[in-house]
Amino acid sequence: MGKYGKNKRNVRLKKKWLKRRRKEVKNTIDYMLAEAEISGLIPWAPVKIEYDKLDQYRGTAELKIDSDGKEYFLITLEIDLLDGSAHGENLACLIFCHELAHVLTWHPNKKTERGLAKYHGIHGPDFMYMQGTLLNILIEP
């Protein structure tokens, strides 16, 4: 083996391992969404999950409109959470529960949603109840 041959092999193995771990975490989060829906916690619009580099937060939930004019929720999680560590996986799952609680408490009427957010903030009593329910269903067992 050359001067850097063994090191290159280690780097290649690490990348392969990281890719596999990222896929496992993504599968876990997809499973959590399915489990929430099986438990009767179904949002009024479809949910898409994406992983990207975020500037300020570890996760976001947004209501979007696709090219056909249909509404959907986009949950974006910080890609750095998929670093392969157990801490990153646990944090990704907790942040996903937080963002899904936002989605499940999002009111379809925009005026009502603005009024609730103005009165309670984005983390009002409905949100807290839903987040507790999700943590109970998805994280506790």
Catalogue all structural domains in the chain, each as residue range(s) with its CATH number.
Answer: 24-139 (3.30.2010)
pLDDT at 68: 93
- Written as one letter, the residue type at 99 is E
Q: What percentage of the chain has pLDDT greater than the value 70?
A: 94
Q: For residues 21 and 13, give the distance between their C-alpha atoms in angstroms, rounded to a whole number.
A: 12
State the sign of the Cα–Cα–Cα–Cα dihedral 116, 104, 100, 75. negative
For 3, list phi and psi in degrees, rounded to 5.
-60, -40
Per-residue pLDDT tens over the stretch 70-113? 999 999 999 888 887 878 889 999 999 999 999 999 887 777 76
2 pLDDT more than 60: no
Strand partners, 49: 75
Strands 47-52 and 59-65: unpaired
pTM: 0.84
Q: What percentage of the chain has pLDDT greater than the value 90?
A: 52
Q: Which of 3-7, 47-51, 123-127 is modeled with the greatest confidence?
A: 47-51
Give the residue from 29, 51, 46, 23 showing the smallest Cα distance to 96. 29
By the 8 A CB rule, do 26 and 52 touch?
Answer: no
Higher pLDDT, 59 or 124: 59
pLDDT at 71: 93
By the 8 A CB rule, do 93 and 32 touch?
Answer: yes
Q: Which of 1-5, 94-98, 110-114, 122-126 is modeled with the greatest confidence?
A: 94-98
Strands 71-78 and 47-52: parallel
pLDDT at 141: 62
Q: For residues 73 and 94, give the distance between their C-alpha atoms in angstroms, rounded to a whole number.
A: 18
